[in-house]
Structure 1
Amino acid sequence: MKGAKLTLFMTSFVVLLLFYVSNQMTARPGTISGNGNPALLVGAPLLPLFILMVLSWGRIFRVHSISQRFSIVGIILTFVHLIIAFIYQRISLANYREIIKDAYFEKYGEVDSEYLQQITTGLTIHVNNQYFNVNTFFMFISFSIFIALAFYLWDTQENKVGNRDSQL
């Protein structure tokens, strides 16, 4: 049990560091960047770390034998958090587009709205700070809890059905 908690703590710390480094790789508003986004290389380990976090959460939930009610409430709360955080992130991106637009206008006297849309859509270096920030870090954590709770609830339901069928 201590191992799962320590693994979860260390994984969360590494994820936080990766988010921080990726955030720092954002091009300043008004600058033109080269091709590519090096933050994607830094962020590549996030998928295996996410899986490790889900497994660690699942192990903790199994050891503590959390109730079905707790699982359902946890799933609902993490889902609500994810929705609110996603909405906040969309608003933040819209505000950041305005900051970039103002910086380009100040530097060049005009703004190409198509170019602005291109550099703020997808996985470009101009919006790393929108994908790797405190909000998205907590979204990452919440989503790992959400998935672990869903699997835990599904597994406990399967075991109940399996036990009931074996008693017949």
Structure 2
Amino acid sequence: MKIAKITLFVVSLLLLGVFLLGNQMTPNPGTSSGNGNPALLIAFMLIPVFVFMVFLWIRIFHVHPFGNTAFIISILAILVHLSAAYIYQRNAFIEYRQVIKDALLKKDGVVDAEYLQSITTGLSIHVNNQYFNINTYFMFVTLSILIAIVYTISEKKEKANIK
């Protein structure tokens, strides 16, 4: 069990480094970015890491069982956190789009609305700092905890129904 906790701690630290690295891959507002987005390689790597983290949380919850009340309170707290974090991130994104617009306006004197939309939509390198930051890191970790809790509760109910 100690191995699962240590592994989860190490994975969480490495994951924080990955998020910070992705954040640093954002070009300065108003500058050209070249071709492609190397942070996409990081994004694809996050999927198996997420599944691994959920697995580790489930192992920890099996060894250190919590009551259903504690799990329900945790679920509610996580949902509040994820909602607040999403709202914060959405507002930060809107503000960052304005920062980019202001930088382009300062640089060129005019801003092409289509260009602004294209570099601040989807998987553009210009918004890496909106996908990879401390807030999204904590959202990633708490979502893994939420899924592990839901899985553990459903597993408990399934075992109770079998008996």
TM-score normalised per structure 1: 0.94
Q: Does 1:137 align with 2:134?
A: no
User: Whole-Å Cα distance in 2 between the matches of residues 54 and 42 of structure 1?
Assistant: 18
In structure 2, what is the equivalent of residue 119 of structure 1?
A: 119
User: Whole-Å Cα distance in 1 between the matches of residues 61 and 110 of structure 2?
Assistant: 55
- Bigger drift between 67-76 and 130-139 goes to 67-76
Task: Give aligned pairs, total.
Answer: 163
Could you tell me which amino acid in structure 2 is paired with residue 155 of structure 1?
E
Query: Structure 1: where are the runs of 5+ without partners?
Result: 164-168
**Would you say the 8 A contact 1:22–1:129 is kept in 2?**
yes
Deviation at 1:35, TM superposition (A): 2.1
Structure (1 or 2) with the larger CA radius of gyration? 1
Deviation at 1:43, TM superposition (A): 2.9
TM-score normalised per structure 2: 0.97
Q: Secondary structure at 1:88's aligned position in 2?
A: helix
Deviation at 1:76, TM superposition (A): 1.3
Could you tell me which amino acid in structure 1 is paired with residue 122 of structure 2?
G
Which aligned runs of 4 or more in structure 1 are off by greater than 4 angstroms?
Answer: none
Query: Within 5 A, what are the aligned runs for 1:20-59?
Result: 20-59=20-59
Query: Within 5 A, what are the aligned runs for 1:129-168?
Result: 129-163=129-163
Q: Does 1:10 align with 2:47?
A: no
Deviation at 1:34, TM superposition (A): 1.8
Q: Secondary structure at 1:27's aligned position in 2?
A: coil
Q: Secondary structure at 1:45's aligned position in 2?
A: helix
Identity %: 52
- Bigger drift between 100-109 and 71-80 goes to 71-80
Deviation at 1:36, TM superposition (A): 1.1
In structure 2, what is the equivalent of residue 166 of structure 1?
A: none
Query: Structure 2: where are the runs of 5+ without partners?
Result: none
In structure 2, what is the equivalent of residue 107 of structure 1?
A: 107
Could you tell me which amino acid in structure 1 is paired with residue 128 of structure 2?
N
Deviation at 1:42, TM superposition (A): 2.5
Deviations 1:128-147 (A, max 9, x none): 00000000000001100000
In structure 2, what is the equivalent of residue 91 of structure 1?
A: 91
User: Whole-Å Cα distance in 2 between the matches of residues 79 and 155 of structure 1?
Assistant: 20
RMSD (Å), alpha carbons: 0.8
